[in-house]
Structure 1
Amino acid sequence: MNIQLADIGKIIQLSIAPVFLLSGVGTHLIVLTNRLGRIIDRSRRLEENLAPDALPHDVELDELYARSHLINRSITLACLCALLICLVIAALFIGDAMEIELAKLIASFFVLGIISLIGSFAYFLREIFVATRTLERDRLRRGAGVVSLKK
């Protein structure tokens, strides 16, 4: 097992794409955690001001609770994706350095990582739909009607 500098360079070149994917997943996680933080902050404000007969706040708290679960699932899948991509990178180095055939394992980790990322985006999209539906319901409840952008 004599590893040459050229071999390490080749491995680094192979790991560039997964590293870029990892960077994108990290950015996605920042967006998700920011949304979760805003949901938690809004929930705390509502709970502090909750009166015994505050039915609209109860409905909003239930929606915020549902949204937080969707975001948590999205975060979990994004983290799983990141871990699997890290395993891809590690397996690339280990397989080449120890001359072990890990192509199927690497491909499996990569595909599972992409599936996890797809799931994360699906939960994120679902959370956005719930948030948008909540805004629409609140607008209708206030009797705002249709807002025109024309002047």
Structure 2
Amino acid sequence: MTPDANAIAQTIQLSVTPVFLLVATGSLLNVFTGRLARVVDRSRVLIEQWGTTEGREHERLVAELRVVDRRMDIINNSIAAAVACGIVVCLLVALLFAQAFVGFNLGAAAAWVFALAMLLLLASLLLFLVEVRLATRTIHVPLELLELEEMGWRKRQGGR
């Protein structure tokens, strides 16, 4: 191998970890966009119902629309952070190759860029957690249904 081929091989080896991070970020983006699609679908259903409701039902629907709108904002921010993470990881790989071919020591810059990628990934995951928590807090099973199910279960168990 020539020295250039050795440098290329070493740079590719160094790039493996950031590339795995890029693949993981892409997988997360797939999950995030799937959630966004579901929230958008739910908002469309609620918007269609908006004109047909009155009173308490209308208030409940408007409250849910507000939550759905907030969830869309949070998911969009999570997606933006994940995309920024992917861009920074690509920059990291470019820095590693630039270091190999230009001859400058870019190790400190690469370390900072990697840390930035990790922070963006962390922000993305935290936003995702916030969105999931918000979604689960807004799902309400009517108490009557729970009581009916419990009563039916007790009858099946012999009245205990």
Unpaired runs of at least 5, structure 2: none
Q: Which residue of 2 aligns with 1:144?
A: 145
Q: Which residue of 2 aligns with 1:130?
A: 134
Structure with greater helix share of residues: 2
- 16-25 or 43-52, which moves further after superposition? 43-52
> Quick one: distance in 1 between partners of 2:3 and 2:126?
42
How much does 1:69 deviate? 1.0
User: 2:71 aligned to 48, 67, 71, which one?
Assistant: 67
Deviations for 1:37-93, whole angstroms, at most 9, x for unmatched residues?
111111011101212521111111111011111111111111111111110000000
Give 3-state SS (helix, strand or coil) of 2:103's partner.
coil
Q: Which residue of 1 aligns with 2:111?
A: 107
Q: Which residue of 2 aligns with 1:26?
A: 26
Q: Which residue of 2 aligns with 1:78?
A: 82
Q: Which residue of 2 aligns with 1:41?
A: 41
Give 3-state SS (helix, strand or coil) of 1:100's partner.
coil
How much does 1:101 deviate? 1.2
Query: Which entry has the higher C-alpha Rg, 1 or 2?
Result: 2
**Amino acid of the residue matched to residue 47 of structure 2?**
E
How much does 1:144 deviate? 2.6
**Amino acid of the residue matched to residue 21 of structure 1?**
L
Q: Which residue of 2 aligns with 1:121?
A: 125
**Amino acid of the residue matched to residue 120 of structure 1?**
S
Give 3-state SS (helix, strand or coil) of 1:13's partner.
helix
- Report sequence identity in percent: 34
Q: Structure 1-normalised TM-score?
A: 0.89
How much does 1:3 deviate? 5.6
Q: Which residue of 2 aligns with 1:15?
A: 15
Unpaired runs of at least 5, structure 1: none
Q: Structure 2-normalised TM-score?
A: 0.85
RMSD: 1.9
| Length, aligned pairs only | 146
4+ aligned runs moved over 2 Å, structure 1 = 142-148
